[in-house]
């Protein structure tokens, strides 16, 4: 059987790397990543297996939040080491029993090649995949990697928040505080990059919105 998965670099990709080019079979047909997502952000997330309770709760949450992801130019793509037939039946079960239609594609990585290359295989648990999350930007660059154990369901709200925060950071060249836009110290404001010279550092000490020269914040509308 011809190998469909082509990775340019050896080893697991890291934050800041280009997402490896890979051709996959999904519930929506064949796709080539990141090529087919050109100009869009996407969240690739793996789950241990179809027809499992924790994974089902996650997929329902991803599905309910899918319009919010699409609103910020972001697509969702699921993955597990199951055949496409299993994915299709599971999606049907979710619609029939939980009244939620899964509209995003799910990769059928039944050979385990993509999961292995991306470090999604759970150590000590056979071929099951961990709950991995890869957030990839509109240039095909991996921006965030998250891993959860099989017994812990993910927070879809946090994944959505992460994408939104990174997009705001890119657009405004700022850093984002903990739990933005609901940070306990500066609320929905953003962090100005630290001064890189003494003159700027001294000026920052007199600047509004600065706790110190290395910790300054502002509203997004401010320059």
77 strand-pairing partners: 44
Strands 74-80 and 142-148: unpaired
d(CA 136, CA 14): 11
Q: Reply yes or no on whether 55 is catalytic.
A: yes
Check: CB of residue 189 under 8 Å from CB of residue 209: yes
Count CB-CB contacts under 10 A for residue 131: 22
3-state secondary structure at position 84 = helix
The residue count for the chain: 223
Residue 150 contacts by C-beta under 8 Å, 6 or more apart in sequence? 48, 54, 122, 125, 128, 130, 131
Selecting among 24, 33, 55, 91, the annotated active-site residue is: 55
d(CA 142, CA 219): 27
3-state secondary structure at position 216 = strand
Residues catalogued as catalytic: 55
């Amino acid at each position: 059987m011809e190998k469909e998965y082509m990775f340019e670099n050896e080893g697991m990709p890291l934050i800041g790397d280009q997402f490896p080019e890979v051709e996959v079979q999904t519930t929506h047909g064949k796709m080539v990543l990141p090529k087919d997502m050109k100009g869009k952000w996407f969240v690739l997330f793996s789950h241990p297996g179809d027809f499992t309770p924790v994974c089902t709760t996650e997929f329902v949450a991803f599905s309910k939040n899918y319009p919010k992801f699409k609103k910020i130019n972001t697509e969702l793509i699921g993955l597990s080491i199951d055949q496409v037939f299993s994915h299709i039946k599971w999606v049907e079960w979710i619609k029939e029993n939980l009244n939620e239609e899964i509209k995003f594609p799910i990769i059928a990585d039944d050979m385990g090649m993509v999961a292995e290359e991306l470090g999604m295989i759970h150590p000590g648990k056979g071929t099951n995949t961990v709950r991995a999350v890869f957030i990839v930007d509109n240039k095909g660059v991996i921006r965030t990697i998250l891993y959860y154990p099989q017994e812990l369901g993910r927070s879809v709200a946090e994944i959505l928040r992460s994408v939104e925060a990174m997009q705001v950071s890119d657009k405004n060249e700022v850093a984002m505080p903990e739990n933005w836009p609901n940070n306990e110290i500066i609320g929905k404001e953003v962090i100005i990059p630290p001064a890189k010279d003494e003159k700027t550092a001294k000026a920052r000490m007199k600047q509004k919105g600065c706790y110190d020269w290395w910790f300054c914040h502002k509203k997004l509308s401010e320059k």
